[in-house]
Amino acid sequence: PVKRCTIQHYGVELDGLRYNGTGLDPYRDRARASRPRASREARQWAISYDPRDLSAVFFCDPATYEWHRLSWVGAPELERPFSANTLAYAKSLLVERAGRGPNHELLTVSLNGLLDRLDRRQALNPKEAKLAIRNGLQTDAAKRDLPSPVARPDDEDTEP
């Protein structure tokens, strides 16, 4: 799937999570249109994602047509994949505990806490136990579907 969003100084925000990568550098805080007062649509860029693994999203540079991986800003050093179901559950926990919708900082804390419990198999309830299994299956499937790196013709050894 693809979502349209603006590229800000911090990167992009999708479903309450922030993502960043060097591929965004030429486009930060810039509208796609050259007009000074570009429409909302003209300020938005297509960001591709896989709901089975939201630990990263992808941006295709319109100038070079190269895909850039944007990592989730809230990820600890060791990146952990998680699905849209896991994110939705983390959001529901925040609403349940805080009584309001999450901002990206609270969501980062909640999601990392949930992922810690799921990684350690310390599910607090049957719903989290099912979520741990589903998250593992979905993220494994997403990894298998990633394209393998392809060597460019100019990278290959050319011998006469």
Taking the domains of the chain in order of start, what are their residue ranges? 2-75, 84-145
Taking 70 as the pLDDT cut, the residues of the chain under it are: 31-42, 101-102, 123-124, 137, 141-142, 146-160
Rounded Cα–Cα distance for residues 107 and 85 (Å)? 14
Residues 36-79 have pLDDT tens digits of 555 666 678 999 999 999 999 999 999 999 999 999 999 887 77
Q: Is residue 89 a contact partner of residue 114, using CB atoms and an 8 Å limit?
A: yes
Residue 119 has which token pair? 């990684």
